[in-house]
Amino acid sequence: MQQHDVDTESTKSPGPVSVWLTHDVIIGLLAGAGVGSIAGLFVAVRVSDNNMFTLGGAVIGAILGILLLVRSHQRQGRFFTPAVFIMWFLLVASALFIAALASAIANFS
């Protein structure tokens, strides 16, 4: 009797777990929340004086940032993708902006 090989393609998981998942979650969370909170802050100042816009922007930005990086690494097998460069740039830019804003508020007279 001949033994048939089991089709391993049908038993595999839908997508491989990214080896950069920790990076994607941390950087996506920080960059997305930073940019989202800044956008939410501008909306809150223009629309109404309510901090829920800032919180909502931070939460939505963090979710989108994580999804962007995870999907970027699922499509491409390498680490340095355009999404990685964009998210690192946004992380640094939002951190500098928030630090400058905090400094301006602290030194306001």
- Residue pLDDT, tens place only, 28-79: 999 999 999 999 999 999 998 888 999 999 999 999 999 999 998 888 878 8
Report whether pLDDT(96) > 90.
Answer: yes
Q: What is the pTM of this model?
A: 0.78
pLDDT of residue 19: 84
pLDDT of residue 17: 61
- Cα 6 to chain centroid, rounded: 39
- The structure tokens listed for 4 are 């048939």
How far apart CA 80 and CA 67 sit, in angstroms, is 16
3-state secondary structure the chain: CCCCCCCCCCCCCCCCCCCCHHHHHHHHHHHHHHHHHHHHHHHHHHHCCCCHHHHHHHHHHHHHHHHHHHHHHHHCCCCCCHHHHHHHHHHHHHHHHHHHHHHHHHCCC
Mean pLDDT, rounded, of the chain: 86
